[in-house]
Amino acid sequence: NAGVTQTPKFQVLKTGQSMTLQCAQDMNHEYMSWYRQDPGMGLRLIHYSVGAGITDQGEVPNGYNVSRSTTEDFPLRLLSAAPSQTSVYFCASSPNLNTEAFFGQGTRLTVV
């Protein structure tokens, strides 16, 4: 089982560039989310989705867009990369409210 797959694993961007972080899950989970991890701050929720066609903002949504056209995929778009977006990004999915979230391997993004 693939679980949650994130691509790419590493990325370097120049300030102002845009890019999409890909996330796919093969577990038919309704709920998917994106987090960023910064030193000393744990994981902070960027955007989440409770099903295809439904997305909402998390704690730190500025500078990021998401869409959910299928149950499987939940891409995260950086519109105009800034050095403050240098971070490790995690995608996660879960089947319902009472179970753990399954995480992808993470994407380490550096914006120069």
Partner 1 sequence: AQKITQTQPGMFVQEKEAVTLDCTYDTSDQSYGLFWYKQPSSGEMIFLIYQGSYDEQNATEGRYSLNFQKARKSANLVISASQLGDSAMYFCAMKTHNDYKLSFGAGTTVTVRA
Residues that bind partner 1 (CB under 8 A): 31, 33, 35, 40-45, 48, 50, 58, 88, 90, 92, 94, 97-103, 105-106, 108
Q: How far is CA 85 from the centre of its chain?
A: 13
Q: Given the complex with partner 1, which of 13 and 46 has the nearer CB atom? A: 46
Q: How far apart are CA 72 and CA 87, in angstroms?
A: 24
Q: Given the complex with partner 1, which of 17 and 108 has the nearer CB atom? A: 108
Q: How far is the CB of 94 from partner 1 (least distance, A)?
A: 7
The four Cα atoms 39, 8, 45, 105 give a dihedral, to 10 degrees, of -70
Q: How far is the CB of 80 from partner 1 (least distance, A)?
A: 26
Q: Which residues contact 98 (CB under 8 A, 6 or more apart)?
A: none
Residue closest to 92 by CA, chosen among 41, 40, 21: 21
Q: Given the complex with partner 1, which of 17 and 45 has the nearer CB atom? A: 45
Sign of the CA dihedral with 80 first, then 85, 109, and 103 last: negative
Q: How far is the CB of 24 from partner 1 (least distance, A)?
A: 16
Q: Given the complex with partner 1, which of 85 and 107 has the nearer CB atom? A: 107
